[in-house]
Amino acid sequence: MQLKFEVPIFDVKNLSFLVRENTILSNISLEIFHSEYIAIIGPNGGGKTTLIRMLLGLEKPTAGEVKLFGKKMSDFKEWYKIGFVPQRASLVDENFPATVEDIVKMGRVAQHSIFTRFSKEDAKIVHDAMEKMDILDLKEKMIGTLSGGQRQRAMIARALASSPEILILDEPNTGVDMVSQQRFYKLLAKLNKEEKMTILFITHDIGVIADDITRLFTINQKATICNDPKETISCEDISKLYGRESHLISNHKHNHSGDTEC
Amino acid sequence: MLEMLSYEFMQRAFIAGLLIATLASISGTFIVLKRYSLMGETLAHSSLVGVAVGLVAGYNPLWVAVIFAVLSSWLIEYLRSSFALYSDAILSIMLSGSLALAVIIVSLGGAFNNSLFSYLFGSILSVSSDDLVTIILFGSLSLGLLLLFNRELFFICYDEEVAKISGIKVKFLNFLLVTIVAIIIALSIRIVGSLLIGALMVIPTAAALQFRVGFKRSMLISLAFALFSVLFGMTTSYYFSLPSGATIVISVIALFVISLIINKK
């Protein structure tokens, strides 16, 4: 559990987003603390990606405020602290002239001024990120020749190479096979447990990662925050949220502790 | 070959040509990867307006071409980011509009002559000492900026949004890139000509991409192709009295076809 005086990584207050009078998000307030592993679920069109885009400063909220590491969005400059893996992560241009190592190195670019060269330390960080994602043997391969799962791991390695404090993933499983997805979920759990990496993860596979996450946000115009994910996903709220009958598939079950808000 | 280099105009043409090949191929790598290929063609036509104004008003056409190309590159970026217009539609409008304007200006000014022909198709005879100084000055500046921002530009080419989230100043760099490209194009019209410079930017990179190698190697292959094409094209231009732009472009297309054949899947 987070300590009360800790500055949250994201502090969202009364956030709303309207497009031509259509409400996409309404009065969302939430906080994300260090070392949390938060899953965001909700129906397509419910505003999950919009919320992430506002957290990243890509969309301006109609009302409300987002603070990053205690700073206003306009004052925040340390973007390397945030690693982002977009929805299209595995759908790269097949002809793009980049090796896996070229891609992972991009994670170091923002830490340098234009006048400094990559150092040995950068090389080590890039090496470690590829090792963590188990793609060291692919480093000379062209990104377009990899499978969906391998590309996905390369994208996460790129995000990790910036030494972020939070990893944000927006349903990066498009075009990725089931076996690779399982491996991917294990990697995320390991990053969170062993390296205390904060993770914010938009997913539909809530049943599979239920045992790993610390909190669950459900987004469908409004946000519901659940401090005991297992309790939420075992109730019928999921079906209500998605507006149809839903089935949950969970790997195994064990008890969680924590407060319950929902 | 050596006899050719004993002429001062050929020495100037070769120095300018090699610098332009370097600039066109390096900036071309970013332009192609950003899907800005048509940008080169459009800015070349905009620079032609500058040439026309220069010819009619009696200013150095190269300087005026640089100014017009840069201004229109900014206008294109502004239109692209501020209005609901498709990029290729904007480029198409600017391209034909510029050419029309250039033709009207030279027709009214009575300057529709051989001088304009050399700006359209390039000429190795036309690089004056003043031109060479302008080309070296602006060319070195552009090359320096491209090399300094090379990592950031590569990241933007790969994924503009992720680059932005990582803290890269995407908007500034996009403006910088189109400005540099505008300058390079305006400088190139002496040797390659405004109707053909787009090809020298796009084709070496398109050929290099066929080899499916990493970013740096692709850029080096593209550079080698551009340098070879300019050397070969200018030599052919000298011996057969052909417009240099045309011989350069035919050379680079030959390299492109060879690249396609040897890298066929």
Q: pLDDT tens digit string along A106-161?
A: 999 988 888 888 889 999 999 999 998 889 999 999 998 888 888 888 998 999 99
Question: What is the mean pLDDT of the segment spanning B162-172?
Answer: 91
CATH of the domain at B224: 1.10.3470.10
**B103 falls within a domain:** yes
Which residue ranges make up each domain of chain A? 10-92+164-242
Cα A11 from Cα A13, distance rounded (Å): 7
Edge-to-edge strand ranges of the sheet holding A198-202: A82-85, A166-170, A198-202, A37-41, A215-220, A222-226
Cα B25 from Cα B35, distance rounded (Å): 15
Interface of A with B (CB under 8 A): 56-58, 77-80, 82, 84, 86, 95-99, 101-103, 105-107, 109-110, 112, 114-115, 142, 144-145, 162
**B146 falls within a domain:** yes
Interface test with chain B among A74, A87, A100, A106, by most B beta carbons within 10 Å = A106
Total domains, chain B: 1
pLDDT tens-digit readout, B38-53: 888 899 999 999 988 9
Do the chains contact at B165 and A79, CB–CB below 8 Å? yes
ipTM: 0.81
pLDDT tens-digit readout, A7-28: 899 999 999 999 888 888 888 8
- Cβ atoms within 10 Å of B85's Cβ, excluding its own: 11
pLDDT tens-digit readout, B79-134: 887 877 788 889 999 999 999 998 898 888 776 566 777 888 888 777 889 889 98
pLDDT tens-digit readout, B198-251: 889 999 999 999 999 999 999 999 999 999 999 999 999 999 998 888 999 999
Question: What is the mean pLDDT of the segment spanning B13-36?
Answer: 92
Q: Which domain holds residue B182?
A: 2-260
Write the single-letter amino acid at A234: S
pLDDT grade, residue A261 (50/70/90)?
very low
CATH fit for domain A10-92+164-242, picks 3.40.50.300, 2.20.28.120, 3.10.20.30, 3.40.640.10: 3.40.50.300
**B34 falls within a domain:** yes
Within 8 A by CB and 6+ apart from B145, the residues are: B176, B180
Q: What element of type H or E holds B190?
A: none
**Distance separating the N- and C-terminal Cα atoms of chain A:** 17
Q: What mean pLDDT, rounded, does chain B reach?
A: 89
**B167 falls within a domain:** yes
**B251 falls within a domain:** yes
**B31 falls within a domain:** yes
Q: How many CB pairs under 8 A join A and B?
A: 71
Cβ(B237)–Cβ(B247) below 8 Å: yes
Residue A250 has pLDDT above 70, yes or no: no
Residue-level pLDDT at A208: 73
What are phi and psi for residue B19, nearest 5 degrees?
A: -65, -40
Question: DSSP state, A99?
Answer: B
Contacts of B168 in chain A (CB under 8 A): 109-110
**B183 falls within a domain:** yes
**B12 falls within a domain:** yes
Contacts of B161 in chain A (CB under 8 A): 58, 86
